[in-house]
Amino acid sequence: MSTVDLEAATTPAVATGQDRAVLRRFLRNPLAVIASLVFLTIVLSAVFAPWLAPYGANFTKLALVTAPPGEEFLLGGDGAGRDVLSRLIYAGQLTLAGSFLTVLVAAGLGVSTGLVAGYFGGWFDRFGGWMANFLIVLPGTIVLVAMFTLIGPNIIITMVVLGVLIAPNFFRLVRNLVISVRNELYVDAARVSGLSDGRIISRHILSVVRAPIIIMAASVWGIAIVVQAGLEFIGLGDPTTPTWGSMLLDAYNNIYIGRHLLLPPGLMIGLTVGALILIGNGLRDALNGEEAIIVAPRQRVKDAARAEAAVPSVPEALLEVQGLSVGYAGRDGSTKTVVRSVGFTIARGEILGLVGESGSGKTQTALSVLRLLPEGGMVTGGGIWLEGQNLAGLSDAQMQAIRGKRIGYIPQEPMSNLDPLFRIGSQLCEPLQVVGGLSRQEARGRALALLERVGIADPHRVFMSYPHQISGGMAQRVLIAGALSCDPDLLIADEPTTALDVTVQAEILDLIRDLQAERNLGVLMVTHNFGVVADLCDRVAVMRGGEIVELGAVNDIFARPQHEYTRTLLASTLEDAPVRPPLVPRPPRRQNAGAET
Amino acid sequence: MSIIATTNLLEVDDLTVHYGKFQALKGVSVTLAPGETLGLVGESGSGKSTLGRAVLGLAEVSSGSIRYLGQEISRLDRAGRRALSREIQVVFQDPYTSLNAMLSVGDILVEPLLVQGVNGAKARERVQELLDQVRLPSDAATRLPREFSGGQRQRIAIARALAINPQLIVCDEPVSALDLSTQARVIDLFIEIQERTGVAYLFISHDLAVVRAISHRVAVMSGGKIVEQGPADQVTSAPKDDYTRRLLMAAPVPDPIAQAERRRARLAQAGKVPA
């Protein structure tokens, strides 16, 4: 066990729930409950060994040396004529206590140093990291064997040293978790409230690291049992007190005359370690929250879509959406509808704004046109036609081709839509080569021309850049270039300027307007900003709670909003809000008592 | 501490802050009177949030001074900061990460009270008062932040800032994560609380319209400097500085006719022919 890789065993579960909810979920997991009961039984039987075991641990009956299971010794006798069952129960004491000591030492050392290193950083963090690396590269088993030659059989010291060797796993886990919460705004807020570091750690930081520590402790306990058994098995234990490992050794020594002796200690170790791992997994699942949502089969979607509206009502429209409903499958099999009977058309060269607040269903509507709904989402009714072609009837492969060639998409977060590992150029060229069928050289030329067209001053430099080397506004220009690369007829833009500064937003809106005019594009513009609608759109649909409440020409809707909700939204815009009356001078209040200490 | 007769609550003078080699603030000076709102507006990287964090003691000051009621606070030790927490509080932008998801709303609101030594029953009473002030139901105390919408969470954050009756609240983009209609209501709440309690706000936002609605005075920041400072109405409707003018022209107005006009003016100013 030169390196014990525990990282994989413990996905850092950022705990969000209350303890009670976690406990309830844990108890609903049958495997975890059974494992807990098994483990509890093993622990209790070790604790109450003097009352439970039929004989003493060292009670010997020479007639029953390596005896098979029988009436007197239920599991038979070992190589020295002792009762296997009794020794098995007694052996639990030292095995469990010794391995638990390892957990205590590893967690105590690792968690305390990890907290300090993560929270305060600085030299302690560097030193701690160096120590952790040093301990991890030490060949653990060899260290323990070497120690045995120095101090002789002392299982307690051995387990403490093993704990020290495993401590770096706790150190790394805790340090990384603490660093991730240290910069959370609520920790800043606590600092501004005047909380001391100790209080911030106990109130805000421990609560986050507690659960992953418990999960890791469960698996470390299991590992410690195995390591301890291994050491005892090679004869490095204290022969006077039984452990499962020393019982294995005895069984091995008598393997030709009493093969049945291997089974009880082997089974015990396996059962205990298995139970600990299952408990750890159960805890992790309980902390991670509800199980994943059930993904509804796609087939139902298409059938529903085909069954209803089968013909477009405005065949000459570029895009027509009719009676569109979108739902998400709940865990209990029910469907939560997020878009309800939405219908609109977009003509060539027209910009339609889809405006609404969060949760209004505007993005869901746009994503269902692209057939890019997130897991669990599905079109539950209605139809979508692109120049009379029913998109619902297409296979995923056909839809893929439509997305590349006929519909371009501009997402909200430019940066998260570029792969940080590839140069901008290769990300632009790939679809041109794969979808557009261009050669490498042609694709390069075309990509450079596109970059220039979207207003990038030095296309060659950007072509060779990685995403982190360019600004957010530049990244959005690159994505617009990407959306245009295969000459689409329809552009779907999902809040394309929300993440950008206002001066950059103005430039991007100018760019979209120019491109739209130049290429006679139809545009579906999803936004929450009425300023963007006023700037760019020809018509606008106002959405609330998954429905379109009002749809019309932009000038009409701004001048004469018909629906109550549209009026409320327009009244909420701050541009016409009154300015505050001048400040009435007032003296400062005396400082709060006690503040001037 | 020195005793200086002053009518200003906060005086920031020639403040410089470095993040490593990057100079985030390059000699910034602002003042804030009791009960006043100073709006700080600028784009990302302008240094507006850094100024707020420096006032809160969360960013290290390289040079210059920050005085609160005449007392230098830019280089306070931990104890001094703790004492000051009765006076200066904060509301952050993101109502999702600024509240610890594992604590109940009551626990979150009690936190600043505990620090100041307000005990159990009294603290609980104050929590109810605070929830009432920010128009949240009184059973909110026993619930978790995730049970509330963005706007309601921001009300919780405001209640936390108000808990110990500070004289100054630094508001760092407190409404930019909120929906339009929620935004307007939260701004109304900010104004109403100010009128009732006389608290002063250092109100940071990227949105000129938001700053205009809540501020008495506005300071425009760009590249770590203040480029223009003055009464809210003047700065946000008739700016003198070029950058401020560009900022104002770039923000689209929610009126198609006025916006077409503004767009033409902006493009003309930039020397481009309007499309």
Q: What is the pLDDT of residue A6?
A: 40
Q: What is the pLDDT of residue A293?
A: 38
Does residue B15 sit in helix, strand or coil?
A: strand
Residues A298 and A274 in one domain: no
A319-357: per-residue pLDDT in tens? 999 999 998 887 667 788 899 999 999 999 999 999 998
The verdict on a CB contact (< 8 Å) between B86 and A194 is yes
Domain that holds residue A338: 292-399+539-550+561-573
- Of the candidates B32, B87, B109, which has an alpha carbon nearest to the alpha carbon of residue A593? B87
| CB A279, CB A36: distance < 8 Å | yes
Token representation of residue B49: 């949030």
Looking at the DSSP bridge assignments, the partners of residue A547 are A544
| CB A498, CB A467: distance < 8 Å | no
Question: How many Å lie between the alpha carbon of B120 and the closest alpha carbon of chain A?
Answer: 17
Q: A18: nearest CA in chain B?
A: B102
CATH number for the domain spanning A353: value is 3.40.50.300
Looking at the DSSP bridge assignments, the partners of residue B16 are B26, B63
The verdict on a CB contact (< 8 Å) between A586 and B56 is no
Question: How many Å lie between the alpha carbon of A118 and the closest alpha carbon of chain B?
Answer: 18
First to last CA, chain A: 56
The verdict on a CB contact (< 8 Å) between B35 and A534 is no
C-alpha distances in Å from residue B143, one per residue of A202, A446, B94, B104, B189: 21, 56, 19, 5, 22
User: Of A183, A520, A540, A589, which to mutate for an interface test with B (greatest number of B Cβ within 10 Å)?
Assistant: A589
Measured between alpha carbons, how far is A145 from A234 in angstroms, rounded to an integer? 10
Identify all chain A residues contacting B258, using CB atoms and an 8 Å cutoff: 534
| Residue A220 belongs to a domain | yes
Measured between alpha carbons, how far is B215 from B230 in angstroms, rounded to an integer? 10
| Residue A7 belongs to a domain | no
Mean pLDDT of B75-91: 87
Lowest mean pLDDT among A212-226, B6-20, B196-210, B259-273: B259-273
Looking at the DSSP bridge assignments, the partners of residue B67 are B11, B72
Q: A589: nearest CA in chain B?
A: B167
Residues A383 and A429 in one domain: no
| Residue A593 belongs to a domain | no
Size of interface A-B (CB pairs under 8 A): 211
Identify all chain A residues contacting B207, using CB atoms and an 8 Å cutoff: 502, 574
| Residue A280 belongs to a domain | yes
The verdict on a CB contact (< 8 Å) between A204 and B100 is yes
Residues A172 and A252 in one domain: yes
The verdict on a CB contact (< 8 Å) between B209 and A574 is yes
Measured between alpha carbons, how far is A346 from A304 in angstroms, rounded to an integer? 23
| Residue A149 belongs to a domain | yes
- Of A259, A288, A317, the position where a domain reaches its end is A288
Q: CA-based Rg of chain B, rounded to a whole angstrom?
A: 20
Question: How many Å lie between the alpha carbon of B81 and the closest alpha carbon of chain A?
Answer: 7
Is the ipTM of this structure higher than 0.90? no
Helix (H) or strand (E) segment spanning residue B172: strand B168-172
The verdict on a CB contact (< 8 Å) between A514 and B37 is no
Residues A302 and A232 in one domain: no
Q: How many structural domains does chain A have?
A: 3
A51-80: per-residue pLDDT in tens? 888 888 888 878 777 778 887 788 888 877
To the nearest 10 degrees (0 to 180), the angle between helices A122-137 and A155-182 is: 140
The verdict on a CB contact (< 8 Å) between A574 and B187 is yes
Phi, psi of B238 (to 5 degrees): -135, 65
The verdict on a CB contact (< 8 Å) between A534 and B254 is yes
- Using CB atoms, pick whichever of A357, A535, A555 lies closest to residue B181: A357
| CB A172, CB A117: distance < 8 Å | no
Measured between alpha carbons, how far is A188 from B58 in angstroms, rounded to an integer? 8
A122-147: per-residue pLDDT in tens? 899 999 999 999 998 888 878 888 88
B20-58: per-residue pLDDT in tens? 888 999 999 999 999 999 999 998 889 999 999 999 998
- Using CB atoms, pick whichever of B69, B82, B184 lies closest to residue A588: B69
The verdict on a CB contact (< 8 Å) between A588 and B179 is no
Residues A437 and A360 in one domain: no
Query: Among A2-11, A48-57, B10-19, which range has the highest average pLDDT?
Result: B10-19
Helix (H) or strand (E) segment spanning residue A105: helix A84-120
Mean pLDDT of B77-104: 85
3-state helix, strand, coil in chain B (%, to 5): 40, 25, 35
Residues A452 and A423 in one domain: yes
Identify all chain B residues contacting A212, using CB atoms and an 8 Å cutoff: none
pLDDT at residue A18 greater than cutoff 80: no
Token representation of residue A229: 């058994």
- Of the candidates A266, A270, A242, A239, which has an alpha carbon nearest to the alpha carbon of residue A252? A266
Question: How many Å lie between the alpha carbon of B220 and the closest alpha carbon of chain A?
Answer: 14
Residues A343 and A382 in one domain: yes
Question: How many Å lie between the alpha carbon of A294 and the closest alpha carbon of chain B?
Answer: 23
